[in-house]
Amino acid sequence: MPLLNHSTMPGNSFGQLFSITTFGESHGAAVGVVVDGCPPGLKLSEKDIQPDLDRRKPGQSKITTPRKEADTIHILSGVFQGKTTGTPILLIAFNKDAKSSDYEAMKDIYRPSHADYTYDLKYGLRDWRGSGRASARETLARVAAGAIAKKYLFEKFGTECISFVEQVGDIKTGIELSKVTPQAIEKSIVRCPDKAIADKMIKLIEKVKSDGDSIGGVVKGLIKNPPPGIGEPVFDKLPADLGKAMLSINAVKGFEFGSGFDGVSMRGSEHNDLFTLNKNKIAKSSNNAGGTLGGISTGEDIYFRVAFKPVATISKSQKTVTRTSKHATLAAEGRHDPCVLPRAVPIVDAMSALVIMDHYLRHKAQNL
């Protein structure tokens, strides 16, 4: 009988050596995560985690869901006298502002483009309160776990995971990555570091919200100063695992790494990143590869794009069907984001850090 691992268990876990298992539902008692494999001796408290959760939490601006949750995180295990012990870390945040009655009218109706239908197909039942496990509220757990990985990587390598909203609808910034800073990103409620473009994005989201509709866009991810030499050569290439991480986020429909689809219009002589020497150290003339070669990190900055669809639950009237196969019309109630992009930024950061952290530990385990 083969040994069980995360690849053969139900898909609530992620990572091999730095692994997380998330739990909880949108309108359940709490949402949380068990983090296993964190090296001992890392200074850690709730204060190291809470700022990232504050960036993800609902009700933070006029263009996000009005649900009010403090998302206060509690560390219940794995930390003693302010340091990680090397044992599993349990993080939990209790739900305070769930209004399940808002979803009563939708419990027997399938929302178009939503997981309602497929959860019924898979399990034969579903938690209709705020989408249950299919809710983006589950990502609170990822962000909490990612904060630990981010702290470890920054202290050891100076690694930073910096994502921002590059596009909302057809409005897009062409800002250079070298000009993107965490401070510039946080100056705007839409988390776009280009002020003029950010203002246009906000106006578009407000218009869509007033129409009872939703809109999607693109988050650009940047991993600065990643450890070199991490990533596996075949199936677990670093870009492949980053792609899996991003595609596991609610509403994600596409992932593009390095030059991505733009690279198909280039010739090899244009696309190749030429090797050169800089102060007797190997360097490259460009970074079309996006910071990896053969699926293994070069130590250069890693960059990618993540496409998010419009939120499925909208208040506009739509035709659909019921669980008993009858025609129905749905104008959804409840509190929903008109655009997930601003709150998706810390989720992309977290998933980036979780992948890098796991691959760093795998690299250390193989190269003693």
Residues 6+ apart with CB under 8 A from 316: 211, 212, 213, 331
- Rounded to 10 degrees, what is the CA torsion of 265, 269, 271, 274? 180
CATH number for the domain including 193?
3.60.150.10
Residue 216 lies in a domain: yes
The rounded mean pLDDT for the chain is 91
pLDDT tens, 318-337?
Answer: 899 999 899 998 887 766 78
Residue 320 lies in a domain: yes
Which position has the higher pLDDT, 282 or 98? Answer: 282
Residue 7 lies in a domain: no
Alpha helices in the chain (DSSP H): 46-56, 116-123, 139-157, 182-186, 195-210, 238-247, 268-271, 341-366
Residue 129 lies in a domain: yes
Backbone angles phi, psi at 57, to 5 degrees: -65, 155
Identify the weakest region by mean pLDDT among 270-274, 291-295, 318-322: 318-322
User: Exposure string (b/e) for 116-152, b if CB count within 10 Å is 16 or more?
Assistant: bbebeeeeeebbbbbbbbbbbbbbbbbbbbbbbbbbb
* pLDDT(304) > 70: yes
Residue 196 lies in a domain: yes
Residue 325 lies in a domain: yes
pLDDT (0 to 100) of residue 3: 46
Residue 205 lies in a domain: yes
SS3 content of the chain, % helix, strand, coil (to 5): 35, 25, 45
pLDDT tens, 187-209?
Answer: 999 999 999 999 999 999 999 99
Residues spanned by the domain of 250: 13-366
Residue 1 lies in a domain: no
Compute how many other C-beta atoms are within 10 angstroms of the C-beta atom of residue 9.
Answer: 10
* pLDDT(5) > 60: no
pLDDT tens, 7-60?
Answer: 556 789 999 999 999 999 888 889 999 999 999 999 999 999 999 999 998 777
Query: Quick one: average pLDDT of 247-267?
Result: 96
pLDDT tens, 216-253?
Answer: 999 999 999 999 999 999 999 999 999 999 999 999 99
Backbone angles phi, psi at 46, to 5 degrees: -60, -30
Count of domains in the chain?
1
pLDDT (0 to 100) of residue 67: 66
User: How are strands ordered across the β-sheet holding 13-14?
Assistant: 13-14, 19-24, 30-36, 89-94, 74-77
DSSP 106-145: GTTBPPTTSTHHHHHHHHS----GGGGGGSGGGHHHHHHH
